Amino acid sequence: MATIHEPVLLREVLQYLDPQPGQNFIDCTFGGGGHSLEILERIKSDGKLVGIDLDPNVIQTSSNKNLILVNDNYRNLKNIYKDLSDDKRIGEISGILLDLGLSSDQLGARSRGFSFQDSGTLDMRYNASSDQMTAADILKKYNQKELFKIFKEYGEEPLAWPIAKKIVSERENGNNIETVESLVEIVEGIYNRHYHSKSKKQPATRVFQALRIEVNDEFGNIHKVLPQAIELLKPGGRLAVISFHSGEDRIIKNYFRDESKQDKPRIKIINKKPVIASDKEGQENPRSRSAKLRVIEKAFISDVGREKHKN
């Protein structure tokens, strides 16, 4: 599989998931397969790995008989598993991985509009044949307040309001923002006006991130998948989640905390503080610098009893 994507926190993921021969795993974000291929090495010929990805371009036919590739949204995790298990293609699950966001391959792919360095149409759907709204549709349809909200919440963009205002005023003048170049021009124009200098590097990054999160309902997907992943794990099985955005990490942290504080908690938190990349990895792979890994373990019935006893 031709990929330039470097798997993030690979050593740490393997250490926490600890795949053993004969076990089954699900990688909800297969991407370039960087994590999956290492897990496959460890589960050997008796184990199975289900690799899910929404982007049909990464789902290629595989000659590895232990790898089951599924082109779907991980928010449908329970149904994906049910279909495979009904067909007796997979048994109980020892570990699940989510490595959120997009891969370097997607960021580097021209014509999908993921990056401000790209050119062409603002699409940003992981699955370009789905009927979801594209980034260009959002820039055409959302009102100023709605645009402001996504730039602020998902992009943490300090100039969210003037950027949203400019987009709407351009629209009113008959100029829909449909291309990467036109969006970059608007954001750069606003930055130059506010900071009176061109020194601010790549000011459009945050607006692009915000649009990608909105187009793909990325926060909604995380909310949906976490309870399903916990339900699917066998007792003692582990869920590892890598996020790259403070908003994502907050959803994950809060969900795990709330679950672990239930009367009969279904999970045990393995690392109270998120695992971050080593200095060495940060130098070698800049993408890893914003990564946070959180891991939980599915409780055994006896753990549930013990937790209850403690309270």
Least separation in angstroms between CB 69 and ligand SAM: 11
Rounded to the nearest 10 degrees, the angle between the axes of helix 205-215 and helix 180-195 is 130
Query: In this structure, what are the phi and psi dihedrals at residue 109, rounded to the nearest 5 degrees?
Result: -75, 120
Least separation in angstroms between CB 163 and ligand SAM: 25
Written as one letter, the residue type at 291 is A
Residue among 19, 34, 95, 155 that touches ligand SAM (CB under 6 A):
34
Task: Retrieve residue 49's tokens.
Answer: 């790995």
Contact 277, 291 (CB under 8 A): yes
Residue among 24, 134, 209, 221 that touches ligand SAM (CB under 6 A):
221
Residue among 16, 17, 26, 32 that touches ligand SAM (CB under 6 A):
32
Which is nearer to ligand SAM, 33 or 265 (by Cβ)? 33
Residue among 103, 134, 285, 288 that touches ligand SAM (CB under 6 A):
103
Which is nearer to ligand SAM, 35 or 298 (by Cβ)? 35
Least separation in angstroms between CB 7 and ligand SAM: 3
Contact 96, 28 (CB under 8 A): yes
x/- binding map, residues 264-303, to ligand SAM, per CB under 6 A? ----------------------------------------
Terminal-residue alpha carbon distance, the chain: 50
Which of 29, 34, 35, 36 lies closest to 66, judged by CA?
36
Least separation in angstroms between CB 29 and ligand SAM: 3
Which residues are CB-contacts of 246 (< 8 A; sequence separation ≥ 6)?
Answer: 156
Task: Retrieve residue 36's tokens.
Answer: 């999956």
Residue among 54, 168, 277, 291 that touches ligand SAM (CB under 6 A):
54
Report the site for ligand SAM in 58-97 (rule: CB under 6 A). 58, 73-75
Least separation in angstroms between CB 276 and ligand SAM: 16
User: Residue 248 interacts with ligand SAM (CB under 6 A)?
Assistant: no
How far is CA 221 from each of CA 60, 224, 226, 229, 232, rounded to the nearest angstrom?
Answer: 23, 5, 9, 12, 17
Q: Is 125 helix (H, G, I), strand (E, B) or coil?
A: coil
User: Residue 237 interacts with ligand SAM (CB under 6 A)?
Assistant: no
Q: Count of residues for the chain?
A: 311
Least separation in angstroms between CB 191 and ligand SAM: 28
User: Residue 26 interacts with ligand SAM (CB under 6 A)?
Assistant: no
x/- binding map, residues 106-135, to ligand SAM, per CB under 6 A? --------------------x---------
Which residues are CB-contacts of 198 (< 8 A; sequence separation ≥ 6)?
Answer: 188, 192
Cα angle 228-153-284, degrees, rounded to a multiple of 5: 75
Residues that bind ligand SAM (CB under 6 A): 5, 7, 29, 31-35, 52-55, 58, 73-75, 99, 101-103, 126, 216, 221
